[in-house]
Chains A and B, each alone.
Chain A
């Protein structure tokens, strides 16, 4: 699927914010972006699982990416959104501070994460896109969801 978005050495990413940083997700993975509905906590779920929400009759889990990346839990405000994603055949929501735009990122602007960052969180990253004004951190969604699942089994 990802191939379909690639055109002339570019990929399209949905950019969202977490604690004033910019993150990007491959647009092919994003099903939709919704405002925050009531989130129901899931008993005994790992910290990064914020809870579940009702998406037009379907119950989908929501991950708190701030918690996942070890960022302080932020206030939920008017700009907070849930990005609904398709990961490994499952539908998952990601709680983010806000969604800003869709960007075209030239493939040659993406560096592997190891070049600039180190630490355990780098496994969640696919790369860093260096654009004129800023850095956009591209996420490895499969890994994030995978990890949440493993934590759940261990819980």
Chain B
């Protein structure tokens, strides 16, 4: 074979296959007399099959780094099960360790705002905020991906602008409008704000995903006489399920973890959300580390477990949301 000529078309470009049966097999005279010599000596072979010390070192470093990375969380976890005196002495001292659920009991029934109630409130706000954003988001994303309509570009710019804006920027306007319509300090008010805030990235994310779905499927359905709504329901919705799961996981985590919006819009202690309650648990004199740790573990358990269960969707969605 001659050298690769970059200008010579290869593969599909090379036109109809011109090789004949004879070309595909070695001719008898081309068969070499001796077996090909091994390009690797037994020494290099052996070295390559046994993990090198270099590679072992790499594993050791990687595992050490990863473990060190979660040491603060291990500390938090340990502290949540130990009495305050032992925490102050250092959670890393394992001798004489006593395990207690007192911290969880205290946090669950915390006098200012019991975490039992706060966690329930967080669910009450998060679940509708996620479901409605998913539905409205995919509905709005569909025209953005498929149709031309006036003001499309303007709307696109507005979405980008809102995605860049800090949540603090919408707090003042929303505070006044919620006061005016009487939804301030209610579940509904906070849910609406989370929906309005989340729609921007969800529409953009789902639009990018829908652009990747081939249009031929819809064409075929349209020829069969399906309406736009039928196409949306029977083709677009099922095909966008993976993207919708990503949206659900990420939006759930963000709404659950949100601290600023509840801080501004939820003022009655019985409506406090879990992230709002945690900083209140700092005592005046001695910081109640045990209770804070137990409360933190309970609050972070939900998004972390969700992440571990749907890790693939979470990571893929995260990457697609920012990198696509």
Q: Say whether A associates with B.
A: no
